[in-house]
């Protein structure tokens, strides 16, 4: 597929449709029986629907402070702050589902599910470090953390699937975890390779990498708050890999998946 700035801009604008999907899901959590589901499942889903709708309307790219719309609502700092809450809460939700389905059968699996939450918190530190100290290589460590999270999610689900005795009511959720892991983990390693390649290329081009310091932190903070570069160049947004990530994370796969989880629990 030929990706140029014009084509990519159309794709970025198509994310607006994802905002409609997320708003619909959010309204469903308020006006239907889903509203009565366990709040430890409901609230993370509501946060994700709200923030994903926002990100579909005002997409940004952290690496070079790029935006589709040059507006205060496209603040890198604000978007990342919202994303931090989303990512910790929805991974907590995934880990909580695993503990519900496991119902204490395998204590080790419960412990591993908590490691998912710890790891996503660590990943937030790396992405904030990348933004505030302009250390692009930290994005690699952040994304490697996501590989660990979903490897754990897949492994726990596989053990429950093979040896669990009390998960029939939520069997479809375990099967979805396994399917997602089989598709996501190979894609994530492709993603990691693309980040590694980009970082290596940029290091070769830039011989002046400042040491981590308070001064650099202040510069990074100001840039995250106020600097925005409006562009639709594919390379700036991560090309096809970046586009796939945005479409699945904000607009389609992840919102639909979380909605299905709370719908399943509301119907049980």
pLDDT at 87: 98
DSSP tag of 36: G
Tell me the torsion sign for CA atoms 97, 157, 95, 164. Answer: positive
Residue 2 has pLDDT above 70, yes or no: no
pLDDT, tens digit (0-9, with 9 covering 90-100), for 48-91: 999 999 999 999 999 889 999 999 999 999 999 999 999 999 99
pTM: 0.93
| Residue boundaries of the structural domains of the chain | 5-26+38-267
DSSP string, 98-130: HHHHHTTS-HHHHHHHHHHHHHHHHHHHHHHHH
Q: Give the separation between CA 55 and CA 81, rounded to whole angstroms.
A: 12
pLDDT, tens digit (0-9, with 9 covering 90-100), for 143-158: 999 999 999 999 999 9
For residue 212, name the pLDDT band (cuts at 50, 70, 90).
confident
Token output for 201: 């290329």
pLDDT, tens digit (0-9, with 9 covering 90-100), for 88-141: 999 999 999 999 999 878 999 999 999 999 999 999 999 999 999 988 899 999
């Amino acid at each position: 597929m030929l990706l140029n700035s014009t084509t990519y801009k159309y794709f970025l604008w198509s994310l607006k449709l994802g905002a409609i999907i997320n708003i619909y899901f959010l309204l469903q959590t308020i006006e239907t029986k889903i509203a009565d589901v366990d709040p430890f499942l409901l609230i993370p889903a509501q946060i994700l629907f709200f923030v994903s709708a926002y990100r579909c309307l005002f997409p940004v790219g952290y690496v070079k402070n790029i935006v589709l719309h040059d507006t205060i609502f496209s603040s890198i700092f604000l978007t990342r702050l919202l994303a931090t809450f989303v990512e910790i809460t929805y991974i907590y939700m995934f880990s909580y589902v695993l503990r519900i389905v496991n119902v204490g059968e395998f204590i080790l699996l419960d412990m591993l599910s908590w490691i998912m939450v710890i790891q996503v918190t660590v990943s937030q530190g790396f992405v904030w470090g990348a933004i505030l100290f302009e250390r692009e290589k930290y994005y690699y460590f952040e994304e490697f953390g996501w590989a660990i999270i979903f490897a754990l999610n897949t492994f726990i689900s596989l053990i429950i699937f093979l040896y669990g005795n009390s998960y029939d009511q939520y069997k479809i959720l375990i099967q979805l975890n396994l399917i997602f892991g089989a598709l996501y983990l190979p894609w994530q390693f492709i993603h990691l390779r693309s980040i590694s390649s980009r970082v290596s290329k940029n290091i070769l081009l830039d011989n002046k990498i400042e040491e981590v310091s308070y001064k650099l932190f202040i510069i990074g903070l100001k840039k995250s708050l106020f600097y925005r570069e409006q562009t639709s160049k594919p390379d700036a947004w991560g090309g096809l890999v970046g586009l796939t990530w945005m479409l699945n994370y904000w607009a389609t796969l992840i919102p639909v998946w979380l909605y299905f989880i709370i719908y399943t629990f509301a119907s049980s």
